[in-house]
Amino acid sequence: MINKISKTLGTLVLGAGLSFNSYAQNTDKNLPYTYEQVPCISEQEVNHIIFEIPKYFKQKSEGTYLIEFVPEAKKGYSFGGELSVYIPYNNKSVLLIFDRTNINPSKWYNVSNWDSENNGCANFGGYLNSKKSMEKTDMQKKFNESVYKIRKIINGK
């Protein structure tokens, strides 16, 4: 009985290990730029968002666009409550995203693909009020979420 349970358990563990290994290999093969299983967005998606932003959003200053304003997150900060994006004119494939829409100012952040090899990958990010940098996986998740949120807002206009 114990022998049968051991064999069954061993088979399950081996199968799970093979499945995970296969997933990791496929991810690496299909998405060459990943941070611990957080895939980068396609460069086409980033370029599309960059192209669409000036059409749909108010320009606050040179290259900076206001995407969303959440008044309840202002909390006395001059840029509080804003989701804004800076697109440098000399490099049309770069996004600097500043998200201050959370009502908790310690969760405000910025993420960017400024010096990334792949425009869909974030390589810089941090929390604005604490000046604390982000782990690469968190940085990429926030970059992806921000780009998808901007695309959703554009599609709703």
Taking alpha carbons only, the member of 108, 104, 90, 94 closest to residue 147 is: 94
What is the pLDDT, as a whole number, of residue 9? 31
Q: What is the pTM of this model?
A: 0.75
Angle subtended by helix axes 136-156 and 43-56, to nearest 10:
50
Tokens 């869909």 correspond to 120
**What sign results for the dihedral spanned by CA atoms 103, 105, 107, 112?**
positive
Tens of pLDDT, residue by residue over 32-51, are 455 567 899 999 999 999 99
Q: Are strands 82-86 and 38-39 parallel, antiparallel or unpaired?
A: unpaired
For residue 132, count other CB atoms closer than 10 A to its CB: 10
Residues 36 and 46 sit within 8 Å (Cβ to Cβ):
no
* Residue, of 30 and 42, whose pLDDT is higher: 42
Residue 29 pLDDT level (bands cut at 50, 70, 90): very low
The domain locations on the chain are 1-30, 34-156
Q: Is 112 helix (H, G, I), strand (E, B) or coil?
A: strand
DSSP string spanning 20-86? HHHHHHHHHHH-SSEETTEEPPPHHHHHHHHHHHHHHSEEEETTEEEEEE-GGG-TT-TTTTEEEEE
Whether pLDDT at 2 is above 70: no
